[in-house]
Structure 1
Amino acid sequence: MGNHMQVQNFIRDNMPYQDAIPKWHPRYLYFTVFASGMTTLAIELSASRLLGNIYGTSNLVWANIIGLMLVYLTVGYFLGGRWADRSPKYSTFYRIIIWGAFLSGIVPLVARPVLRGAAEAVNDLNAGVAIGSFIGVLVLFSIPVTLLGCVSPFAIRLAIKEAHEAGKTSGTLYAISTLGSILGTFAPVLLLIPNLGTAKTFLTISVVLLAIGFLGLFLTEGKKVLRLLWMPPGLILLAVLVLSGPTRPAPDGMKLLYERDSAYNLIQIVEDSNGTRYLLLNEGQGYHSQWNPNGQFYRRTWDYFLAAPYFNNVPFTTADVHNICIIGLAGGTIAHQYTDAYGPIPIDGIEIDPAIIEASRQYLDLTMSNLHVIIGDGRYELNRLDKKYTVIGIDAYRVPYVPWHLTTQEFFEEIRDHLTENGVVVINVGRTDTDRRLVEAMTQTMLQVFPTAHTMDVPDSFNTILVATRQ
């Protein structure tokens, strides 16, 4: 009983001006905690897209994002509790919110030079993706996420009025923060990034939390908040200066025609001096599609897809190719080539990113009447199709981010069930000069389902074409 009274007296004696704080203030505190939880998860989800623009979205990148965010939050929890004990004031709390929000908005504005510099610094290392993304996250997110981590323990210190309510108050605050995190998980992916892009998503969630922090500080300290009013115009001015150019410049000798940050990719379309256009995604390593109005054959990886049907037993002619399904349609290079080589045969093209299709229709002439575009995941959409194909082409594998559900024996059994008796599956697999493990693993998996599998290394590239037949 004596210890309980001592704790209660300590809490009462150290309350942050409870008698002077209006009754609505604790409610606004809870609302602020909700907004802080939303911002924290929104930053983490948006960080994957920000880093994906340079390093892609491999498991290595995700591991660095999640791991380092947890480190920063851990530091924030530790410091926030001690900070609250030393300065248990609402004004201190709202200043933490304001600075955390402001620095979160700064992240995308400094991301371009920092991430490009990190990418260049580790370009010659085998672990370049891991080291580069590690450095990028370390520099960009450490301070704002740590400050946001201070919010929950600080809010608990402010909210507790009676010792016997400490558990209830703490649980309520953590529940409210988690509810905000749920909103912060879905809002960037489903709404903000597809419509605003990554940089403006960061700025939007930053401005929202900044406004909440300013209002709380104004209601607590009045005109003293004017000392920090330089932040919003400063953020806007910096955004205008930094975001006026492209996220990544076009390769040497090319001009940028189109750029958009979709829910899945940073999409760029560039054009060289010969009028040939290329689709670049994310970090821009390699061409995902190519198009020239004067011809559709480029002596690149896609040309090898045309040879796939001829791995059947002879005799086999062009007239035996009746249709094709393409998983990983992208800008439609394979669809263009099959149309030119085999005539206007029916083509079903599956692509998960609708923004790629939109850009390709505008810039890569993806307008063939024989092409039926299907938006969605390749495996799911294939299984919804009640058709059999002469050719199923898959162009969705690239190290280090390979969709694992498109590599299993069960997937290839589903492919086999969608092939005609003389049908073939042809796959583009990425590799390096010294590492062929993915090619070998894919070949062995395909041989569990198909009687024959063949490999063709594409000259002067890091690609191998695999062809499996039902015969």
Structure 2
Amino acid sequence: MAKSVTKNKSSKMAVFAFAFSGMAALIYEVIWTRELSLVFGSTVYAVSMMLTAFMSGLSLGAFLGGRWADRSKNLIALFGTLELGIGIFGLLTIPLIQVLPTLYFLVYNTLKPSFYLFFFFQLLLSFVIMLIPTTFMGATFPVVTKINTASIEKLGNDVGNVYSINTVGSILGSLGAGFFLIPLIGVKATTFTAAGLNLLVASAMIFISKSAMAKKWLGAGVMILAVIGTTAAMVRPPAIDHNFYRIADYSSYDEYREYVNDLTTLFFNDGLYGRVTVFQGPSGERSLSTDGKVEGSSTEYDRQVMSLFALIPDESLRSVRDPKSILVIGLGTGYTAYAALYGTNANIDIAEINQAVLDASKYFVGDSIDTNPRAKFYLNDARNYLYMTNKKYDVVTSEPSYPVSTHITPLFTKEMFQIVAKHLNKDGVYCQWVPRYIMRDDDMLMMFKTFTSVFPNTYVWGSNYGANQAQDVLMIGINGNKKLDVKQIAENVRKVGRDKLKFSSLDFSFYAYPDTIVKLAKGTLSDGSPIPFNTDDCPLLEFQAPKNHIDFFREGTSAFK
């Protein structure tokens, strides 16, 4: 009888410990998805590859774990040993992830793979990081299920209890990692926390199992964890890694290392909405990076382009009346908001989701925005902000991140443009940035059709990049039928840039009138098919932009035809 009671207590402790196992597992998933996105990019394809690797490991683990459970004479010890393995290989991912940029560089620059082969390599690299720990994670479920199964008559109830408590732990782990642990203590310490949970569960299970062999494994595992932990603690991420967004930026690995070694990190923040870094090169230029993407810099070209996002729509409206209210979507380096503030007398609202970006922008524009009484920050997603506010604006200018990221593409859809239109005053102006350098001609036609379906009175400007080419395209949509004097607008923009913002020159051009854009939007794609819309329900740009990005570096600009 006593033996039966002891066994019952052990099984209850194992089920209770399984909740902490699930908690650690989802902490790892949040961390791995976040950290691998810094290398692989946060494209829809990269996220799919990472999730595929994670789920594959769980599946393989469940397959193997069932067989291990049937052969094991001490299931409690087996459960503890699996948890120890998860902790060891989970913590090992800290130094392994730091090696990925080098592997990424060698794979891409050696093979220059096609789009599908490129993401196949991403999948393989995801397996390198996740396969072993996720296999152990998957194996714990059949083991704990067998521990908790008292009889065949209660099999459904016993399995349900195990699955339920593990799921509760998983929920707490994902919430805790994203909303509390990473913002408060950072990614590295959060990984140590997850490994600590695994070690706690392993120690408890091995202790109550009374297995001498398992205790030896535990002693060896603790020493291995100490070595890995010391190594992981010494790892320092560079200011910027070689990643998806920077493929083929360097002709050799030595050139890449020389560039990275010459950078100085001025600002680093691992927050709720991603990693924000400001780094400085040897010549003094500063760059802002979010989640591995360089969003802007202090170079003359970037300062000019960011300023044009404010100056051109401002001067477009000024031909009707002076702008009194401006909404800037996305702060970035702050140059657009700065140009709006000091190039006009309007009140400026800024919608920026990440507090760390506000802090980082001070390395480019100082406190000039933060201390200006005409500027007001809204820490919110742009679409959520527009859903929640009743404000209307004379000018809205949108300069989000690149539409290769799955969480950014909703700012380039028809629905987004319709939301903005509802918040524009009569004859108000909407400026939408489009990165021409990662767009094929067919993609530009799609964006023209999508934009003009909401703003048929659209003028197209761009920063110059070679003869008759625009690197950064600005679609200027007018909420009304007002016709613009583009020559006068260009003169006014250059005058404001020179007199108020102290630019010696501004290199930009006017590219197309509304009738030209509408005519293009009514045409067909290069294969003769109708031009589609880019919508929330069918976000074609989200899937096409990453392909373009790879093709651009493989084939050069000749690929964009």
Q: TM-score, normalised by structure 2?
A: 0.73
Choose from 136, 151, 156 the match for 2:140. 151
Is the Cα–Cα contact under 8 Å of residues 54 and 115 in structure 1 kept in the other structure?
A: yes
Question: Aligned partners of 1:165 and 1:117: how far apart in 2?
Answer: 50
Q: Distance in 2 between matches of 1:120 and 1:394?
A: 36
Letter in 2 for 1:192: L
Deviation string 1:232-253 (CA, Å, 9 cap, x unpaired) is: 3223211222237657487575
**Residue 47 of structure 1: CA displacement?**
1.7
Q: Does 1:395 align with 2:399?
A: yes
Residue 381 (structure 1) aligns with? 385
Residue of structure 1 equivalent to 2:156 = 167
Q: Which amino acid aligns with 1:338?
A: A
Partner of 2:35: 50
Quote the residue 1:230 is aligned against.
Answer: 223
**Partner Cα distance (2:333, 2:308) in 1:** 15
CA distance in 2, matches of 1:26, 1:431: 61
Give, in angstroms, the shift of residue 168 of structure 1. Answer: 1.5
For residue 270 of structure 1, give the secondary structure of its aligned residue in structure 2.
Answer: strand
Cα distance per residue 1:128-158 (max 9 Å; x no partner): 8634532321100000000110001011122
Structure 1 partner of 2:98: 112
Q: Quote the residue 2:127 is aligned against.
A: 138
Residue range with higher mean Cα deviation, 201-210 or 238-247: 238-247
TM-aligned CA deviation for residue 264 of structure 1: 2.0
CA distance in 2, matches of 1:464, 1:126: 27
Would you say 1:67 and 2:52 are equivalent positions?
Answer: yes
Structure 1: any 5+ residue segments left out of the alignment?
Answer: 1-16
Matched residue type, 1:388: K
CA offset digits 1:45-67 (Å, max 9, x no partner): 22221112123212112111222
Deviates more, 1:455-464 or 1:159-168: 455-464
- The answer to whether the aligner puts 1:455 opposite 2:455 as a matched pair is no
Three-state SS of the structure 1 residue aligned to 2:464 is coil
What residue in structure 1 maps to residue 77 of structure 2?
Answer: 91
Match of 2:335? Answer: 333
Q: Give the AA of the match of 2:23.
A: M
CA deviations 1:258-283 (Å, max 9, x no partner) are 12222222211022455443211222
CA deviations 1:8-63 (Å, max 9, x no partner) are xxxxxxxxx96595543112101221122222222222222111212321211211
More moved, 393-402 vs 123-132: 123-132
Residue 239 of structure 2 contacts residue 263 of structure 2 at CA under 8 Å; is this kept in 1? no
- Conservation of the 8 A alpha-carbon contact between 2:238 and 2:260: no
Residue aligning to 1:358: 359
Indicate conservation of the 8 Å contact 2:333/2:364, yes or no. no
1:241 aligns with 2:245: no
1:210 equivalent in alignment to 2:199: yes
Of 252, 264, 267, the match for 1:258: 267
* Distance in 2 (alpha carbons) for counterparts of 1:281 and 1:71: 29
Structure 2 residue 456 is the aligned partner of structure 1 residue 467: no
May I ask how many residue pairs the two structures share in their alignment? 447
Runs of 4+ residues deviating >6 angstroms: none
Query: Could you tell me which amino acid in structure 1 is paired with residue 161 of structure 2?
Result: T
Contact 1:431 1:438 in 2 (8 A): no
Give me the CA root mean square deviation.
2.8
Give the Cα–Cα distance (whole angstroms) in 2 for the partners of residues 404 and 315 of structure 1: 32
SS at match of 1:299: helix
User: 3-state DSSP class of the match of 1:398?
Assistant: coil
Q: Percent identity?
A: 21
CA distance in 2: counterparts of 1:273 and 1:303, whole angstroms: 27
Given the superposition, is the C-alpha separation of residues 466 and 315 from structure 1 closer, same or farther in structure 2, using an over 3 Å criterion? Answer: closer
- SS state at 1:174 partner: helix
Give the match for residue 267 of structure 1. Answer: 276
User: What residue number does 2:26 align with?
Assistant: 41
Once the two structures are superposed, residues 175-217 of structure 1 have per-residue CA deviations (whole angstroms, 9 ceiling, x without a partner) of 1111112112211111112222223222211111212212221
Deviation of 1:465 (Å) = 1.7
TM-superposed deviation, 1:122: 2.2
Shift of 1:120: 4.6
- Structure 1 length as normaliser, TM-score? 0.86
| 1:122–1:131 CA contact under 8 A, matched in 2 | no
CA contact (8 A) 1:325 1:348 kept: yes
Q: Which SS does the other structure have where 2:226 is aligned?
A: helix
